[in-house]
Amino acid sequence: MRRLIAAPLITALIFLGGSAFAENPNMASCTGCHGIDGATGMMPDVPNIAGIPAVVQEDALYAYLDESRKCWAPGIMCQVMSGLSEEDISEVSAEFAAMPFKPANEDFNADLAAKGKALHMESCAMCHGADDSGEGESSILHGQRIEYLRKVMEQYAAGERAQPPMMEEKMTVLTPEQIEDIANFYASYRAP
């Protein structure tokens, strides 16, 4: 039954997606959740992945593939990953990395965002940068969806999501209130 539904959906996404899909049909597996541009998916807990460095995206995809990163219900990421080869992962990551990042422009609490900025500068800027530009080997946090940010940071803080030791040291001491502050700070970003 799933295949009967998935085939027309993927066909429609390929048709709507234009040349990127013609060159790489695996992109259609991703755009149903992340959007054709990697930034306009319709689910609030799905990240914007356009513009995030390919190496970061590859690491995330391999983490799903080797199950060091658990899939959220209903487990769509794990289903998608089971059908991708190493070459597919490299190609899809490069395609999305080449797209411009678009902030989600979510609602946020300015008072909490101000507290979150201080926490970012103190604990996160060392790796993610003061302006969180996504340069190098870190993910882009500014402009992500607030629900996604909350969910991921809660998982990191609880030790439920694999992370580098330096990040784990910072994340596992965060309180729920601090997570909310930082999530609001990242959600406050607007494109210049």
What DSSP state is assigned to residue 72? Answer: P
Provide the sign of the torsion angle of the four alpha carbons 141, 145, 148, 151, taken in this order.
Answer: positive
pLDDT > 50? residue 29: yes
Q: Give the list of residues 6+ apart from residue 159 with CB closer than 8 angstroms, or none.
A: 168, 172
Give the model confidence (pLDDT) of 60-109 as tens digits.
999 888 888 878 766 788 888 888 899 999 999 999 999 999 999 999 99
Superfamily of domain 2-98: Cytochrome c-like domain (1.10.760.10)
Domain boundaries, the chain: 2-98, 110-187
Peptide bond preceding 74 in cis form (omega within 30 of 0)? yes
- What is the tally of helices (H) and strands (E) in the chain? 11, 0
CATH code for the domain defined by 110-187: 1.10.760.10
Global pTM?
Answer: 0.81
3-state SS, residue 109: coil
